[in-house]
Structure 1
């Protein structure tokens, strides 16, 4: 999805993981990552792992310095949000150029991780943890 004017072209992508949702906007620029109005390094607590995960689609395609990434992330923790950003970024890159899809799909960046927390059942302490059994 792109706007009509040449210098304000934005590409959109939505990523989800566990309870995290990330709405990613790609704007032509110098490679800045901005999450919820903060620089990406500060928001992701200077964790090199989270930064690498969230920007991996750009580095695989060699477009690290081509686009600014504006993200609105909500829900979950930092790991879920970093994975949601990665999926949203990969989907946005597919709208830029459909040929990117082949590369990103082979790297496994376009598949949604469907694992969620299992609900707690009655009579149990957690989803599967039962109270201690006493024989006598």
Structure 2
């Protein structure tokens, strides 16, 4: 996709995990990470684990300093958001070059983790936790 006012290509992808949704835009640049208008390291609380998870597709393909990443993420907590960002970046990289798909798919980065919280049922305290049984 070509952005008319900057004359640079913008590649987008959407990632989801639990209740988090991440909309990712990759623009050729110097490698900066902006999440919800905040530098990525600050948003992810300088956690090396969250940063490693989020940028895994770029590290695998060796493109860590090739693209500026702009992300709009909402819902869930930091773990779900980091996983949603990873999937969004992986999908955007597939839009850039279809050959990236083979590498990312073999690493398991294009698979959406569909596990979500189970709903609470009536008569129970949580989804499966029941009140203590009393015989008398």
TM-score bucket of the superposed structures, by smaller chain: over 0.9
Distance 1:75 1:4 in 2: 28
| RMSD of aligned residue pairs (Cα, Å) | 1.0
Gaps of 5+ in 1: none
Aligned counterparts of 2:103 and 2:88: Cα–Cα separation in 1: 16
The TM-score normalised by the length of structure 2 is 0.97
Residue 129 of structure 1 pairs with residue 95 of structure 2:
no
- Map of 2:18 onto structure 1: 18
Deviation at 1:7, TM superposition (A): 3.8
Quote the offset at 1:3 in angstroms: 1.1
SS of equivalent to 1:30: coil
**Structure 1 moving runs of 4+ over 2 Å:** 4-7
**Distance in 2 (alpha carbons) for counterparts of 1:79 and 1:3:** 32
Superposed, which structure 2 residues align to 1:76-115 within 5 Å? 76-115=76-115
The answer for unaligned runs of 5 or more in structure 2 is none
Query: How does the TM-score come out when normalised to structure 1?
Result: 0.97
Aligned length: 135
Structure 1 residue 58 corresponds to structure 2 residue 49 = no
Whether contact under 8 Å (2:3, 2:9) holds in the other structure is yes
